[in-house]
Amino acid sequence: MEAASHHLTRVLSHGMNADTVISDWPALTSAEVARVLLHYPQAGVPQRLVWHSPRPFSAGCVMTTSTMQVFVKRHHISVRDVKGLSEEHGFINHLRERGIAVSAVLRSADGATAISDDHWTYEVHGVAAGVDLYRDAVSWTPFSSRVHAHEAGKALARLHLAAQDYAAPARKAQTLVSSFTIFSQQDPLPALQHYVEQHPAIGDYLQHRHWRDETIDTLLPFHDRLRPYLDELTPLWTHNDWHASNLLWTDRSAAAGVETILDFGLSDRTCALHDLATAIERNIIEWLAIQEGRYNVVHPELLVAMLDGYHLIRPLTARQWQALAALLPLVHAEFALAELAYFHGITRSANNAALAYDTYYLGHAAWFNRAEGQGLLAQIASRG
């Protein structure tokens, strides 16, 4: 009975604005983690639960055991099933084999990298090496130094080189995956229609919106600029959530390098420029400050440092810089729809669903029509 009552404990998590909210999902308990780790004999005997993750889309914690520290992550079955997790674990293991520093995915006694129990799905990772400098950073927090930006750019380029021979197909349709199936097409509207049909919760929400007209007015002008460069968007498995908080660092200094890459939950087969554009969108633009009415929310010095780092390892052509600039206003759109499916269909949050559609899907693209957005695109394009 004690474990069951504790099972409903909530922790504070990052909200969708610069706030802290009660988590959508119950916190993991020591008893629950111990039950999960029975399937992972190499993890040792659980001793002490030392940290709860503040990330909003799942529940995660660090447990100290008799042999190691493990990170245990729990998803609702409607968000991730065992097959959905095994898709991203396959990519992680490929990168690890290619010498990329990623966390070790533990296998259960029967060889699976994820297990299901009731309406939950669990994965277990060895706690990776490195300093979690940005552990408490909310979404869209910029790098705290130019060196961090430069090192993150280099690490992303190395990941892309290592991913080139990973031939797994794109992930199955599921929520909270940052796919790139709509605006990668010559005509995005049929692809958008297909995406909506694959995610019934989105269709349910959009039946009260003029979504086709809003997409045509806000997003298609940017797609018109991207269309000449679609041939540069070579399919590649990518991280799709390249933010400073998903990296562990060599030390606590402003000159730290990247030690380990974390959190492949949004990974899918997109393309290198999509991943690089996502890194710009996540680390260079303070979107939450825009919602608060602030200007000067772009960090051009961090942009230069990150792109220089990337180009040092995986040089881009003049045409690819143009393609990157054209892609950036669209890069968050498909994931915004994935968030809409999650908020409307799973957590049933009307406020967050509206935020995903109005602010993320439409608003982030529309911002690039403003002077600051245009300046950012010009800065990227001018590299070519």
CATH code for position 102: 3.30.200.20
Reply yes or no on whether the pLDDT at 30 is more than 50. Answer: yes
Question: Rounded CA gap, 78 and 341, in Å?
Answer: 11
Reply yes or no on whether the pLDDT at 1 is more than 60. Answer: no
Same domain, 65 and 208: no
Instruction: Let me know if residue 131 belongs to a domain.
Output: no
Dump pLDDT digits (tens) for 323-349.
Answer: 999 999 999 999 999 999 999 999 999
Contact indicator for 149, 305 with CB cutoff of 8 Å: yes
Domain stop point among 56, 91, 126: 126
Dump pLDDT digits (tens) for 352-371.
Answer: 999 999 999 999 999 999 99
Same domain, 39 and 96: yes
DSSP type of residue 142: P
What is the pLDDT, as a whole number, of residue 235?
97
What is the pLDDT, as a whole number, of residue 133?
95
Reply yes or no on whether the pLDDT at 10 is more than 90. Answer: no
Most confident of 46-55, 169-178, 300-309: 300-309
Reply yes or no on whether the pLDDT at 2 is more than 60. Answer: no
What is the pLDDT, as a whole number, of residue 268?
97
Reply yes or no on whether the pLDDT at 125 is more than 50. Answer: yes
Same domain, 75 and 219: no
Question: Rounded CA gap, 230 and 219, in Å?
Answer: 16
Instruction: Let me know if residue 135 belongs to a domain.
Output: no
Contact indicator for 126, 69 with CB cutoff of 8 Å: yes
What is the pLDDT, as a whole number, of residue 14?
46
Reply yes or no on whether the pLDDT at 5 is more than 60. Answer: no
Instruction: Let me know if residue 55 belongs to a domain.
Output: yes
Question: Rounded CA gap, 172 and 83, in Å?
Answer: 9
Q: Count how many domains the chain has.
A: 2
User: Domain holding 172: CATH number?
Assistant: 3.90.1200.10
Same domain, 100 and 182: no
- Copy the structure tokens of residue 155: 């690490």
Instruction: Let me know if residue 133 belongs to a domain.
Output: no
Instruction: Let me know if residue 47 belongs to a domain.
Output: yes
Domain stop point among 98, 126, 154: 126
Same domain, 28 and 171: no
Same domain, 267 and 323: yes
Domain coverage including residue 81? 2-126
pTM, 2 dp: 0.93
Contact indicator for 91, 267 with CB cutoff of 8 Å: yes
What value does the mean pLDDT take over residues 59-75? 96
Same domain, 42 and 89: yes
Dump pLDDT digits (tens) for 249-297.
Answer: 999 999 999 999 999 999 999 999 999 999 999 999 999 998 888 889 9
Provide the pLDDT confidence category of residue 22 given band limits of 50, 70 and 90. Answer: low
Same domain, 84 and 229: no
How far, in Å, are 36, 236, 345 from residue 200 at the CA level? 32, 27, 8
| Better-predicted residue by pLDDT, 118 or 189 | 189
Domain stop point among 96, 126, 156: 126
Instruction: Let me know if residue 136 belongs to a domain.
Output: no
The whole-chain average pLDDT of the chain stands at: 93
List of residues 6+ apart from 264 with CB closer than 8 A: 88, 91, 92, 102, 239, 241
Same domain, 64 and 183: no
Same domain, 105 and 163: no
Question: Rounded CA gap, 307 and 202, in Å?
Answer: 34
Amino acid at 276: L
Dump pLDDT digits (tens) for 207-226.
Answer: 999 999 999 999 999 999 99
What value does the mean pLDDT take over residues 38-48? 95
Beta-carbon count within 10 A of 112 CB: 16
What is the pLDDT, as a whole number, of residue 6?
38
List of residues 6+ apart from 247 with CB closer than 8 A: 130, 134, 152, 155, 258, 259, 260, 261, 262
